[in-house]
Amino acid sequence: MTQIKIFDTTLRDGEQSPGVNLNQLEKLEIAKQLERLGVDVIEAGFPASSQGDFNAVQKIAQTITESTVTALARANKNDIDQAWEAIKEAKKPRIHVFIATSPIHMKDKLKKTPEEVIDIAVEMVKYAKDKCIDIEWSAEDASRSDLPFLATIIEKVIDAGATVINLPDTVGYTTPKEYGEMFKYVKENVANINQVDLSTHCHDDLGMALANTIAGIQNGATQVEGTFNGIGERAGNVALEELAVALEIRKDFYPYHTQIVLNEIKRTSDMISKLTGMIVPGNKAIVGRNAFAHESGIHQDGVLKNTQTYEIITPELVGVQSNNLVLGKHSGRHAFKERIVQLGFSLSEEKISETFKSFKQLTDRKKEVTDDDLFVLLMDIQTDVSHRKHYQLESFQVQYDSTHSPTATVTLETPSQKIVTGSKSGAGSVEALYNTIESLIEEKVQLTDFTLSSIGKGKDALAEVHVHLKINEQDVSGRGTAQDVLEAAAHAFLNAVNRVFIKLKVD
Ligand SMILES: [Zn+2]
């Protein structure tokens, strides 16, 4: 069995999904979960892109000990300097430097000749190698590059010190046969190729990301780049949970294995979905809500007689729990603390007390508090940046009756700690609420998406709202949870607004 190394780029390529903007604490929580999941490499970000990204990468590098932490850099000294500054305290640092190698990218984007591109690539790999032992080099748009040219440049960057060679299908254009043949060609035509790991990086524009990735592996790739839930630029990247489970379930056919701790998959997926606001479709392979639901009578009958008649993956394999443990009104601090640890969170005593208070408040209104509820509660506390929050919801009221337009009255605390109150109406309750909040803040806001879902089951379930807003031409997302739908909606809106403020301040 050949070991395939898993390179997760949820925090870099995944964060490039439109409307996704994670704060530093959210990125750190995701990185810690990725480490628990057993990924070999975490691409933490692109430090030269903003001060905020730099800080997040640095924090992750200082915290993670098991996985390699890498940061992206274009082929210039400033990017490489910033990447190194951000990751140098990591236990296993790696600089990831890239340059485009396809004719269209070299000519129209870089405006460089192929010879110039080789010179830059070699010089920058050497420059990075002076700082860091582990250097990954990517040939952007490799799948549309000229193969002999690709072989030439790869051989030279390996001589210059590269330890991993990544060949991305940047635009999601390739087919499994072509992508596999590119790896085969490189294996056969680059003399020093056996000194390095070869890596895939596939996008799903034509729905072929997973098939292409596997074709790469079958032709010599030993590292796979992808994201959780398949998020990423445009149609996204290959979904790592699909790859890991496919290799496990079909190990009779594929002689490869990964170090992924499979029963951490569901939790990782949930965390990333909640924090990014990129909701997983119900029918999504492995992690969708319906991935293990058997609906038709014939299937249900079969599964009851023998689960293997229709079930190829057990929910337990990927960490889907059928018997959710519940806590209630009478659960004490000790049981609560134990559950926190079991859910994989490590909180300071101060934060445990804070969460326990919120938990108690919740049990006043909700009979059973499930793991899903706790997960949200803990996540909110763990990723809260309230000391820098600019707008806080003090109180609100919505008047609704079916014969009149609803009116909302909202009181907020502003960035300058002033208390302001306003009132507006709208065609619906949410609109009235949002019109009012908008009138109280200085920004011009446009709501582009609104999703409401429930956490768990039952009429008393927590409501979760995700919004996408356009604020000052920036796409930004926000989330909010509360027992009441309107309160969750208000929190989600302000959460998005505050993210823009934090960004403006930090960057
Ligand atoms: Zn990509």
β-partners of residue 480 are: 465
CA distance 387 to 209: 41
Residue range 185-201: average pLDDT? 98
Ligand 1 centre to CA of 431 (Å) is 37
* The pLDDT value given to residue 507: 38
DSSP state of 90: S
β-partners of residue 469 are: 447, 476
* The pLDDT value given to residue 125: 98
Residue range 143-158: average pLDDT? 98
- Percent of all residues in the chain with a pLDDT value above 70, rounded to a whole number: 97
CA-nearest of 241, 175, 163 to 202 is 175
Ligand 1 centre to CA of 145 (Å) is 16
Ligand 1 centre to CA of 330 (Å) is 49
DSSP state of 238: -
- Percent of all residues in the chain with a pLDDT value above 90, rounded to a whole number: 66
How many residues are present in the chain?
507
Which residues, chain by chain, have CB under 5 Å from ion ligand 1? 13
385-440 pLDDT, tens digit per residue, is: 665 568 899 999 999 998 989 999 999 998 888 999 999 999 999 999 999 999 99
Mean pLDDT of all residues belonging to the chain: 91
Count CA atoms within 13 Å of residue 235 on its CB side. Answer: 15
Ligand 1 centre to CA of 13 (Å) is 6
65-93 pLDDT, tens digit per residue, is: 999 999 999 999 999 999 999 999 999 99
Ranking 182-191, 216-225, 285-294, 377-386 by mean pLDDT, the lowest is 377-386
CA-nearest of 443, 426, 321 to 390 is 443
In 240-367, which ranges are continuous DSSP H helix? 240-249, 265-276, 297-305, 333-342, 349-365
* DSSP secondary structure of 427-448: SSHHHHHHHHHHHHSSS-EEEE
Six token digits for residue 388: 């820098």
* The pLDDT value given to residue 30: 95
* The pLDDT value given to residue 5: 98
Ligand 1 centre to CA of 203 (Å) is 6
* The pLDDT value given to residue 505: 47
β-partners of residue 449 are: 468
pLDDT band at 502 (very low <50, low <70, confident <90, very high): low
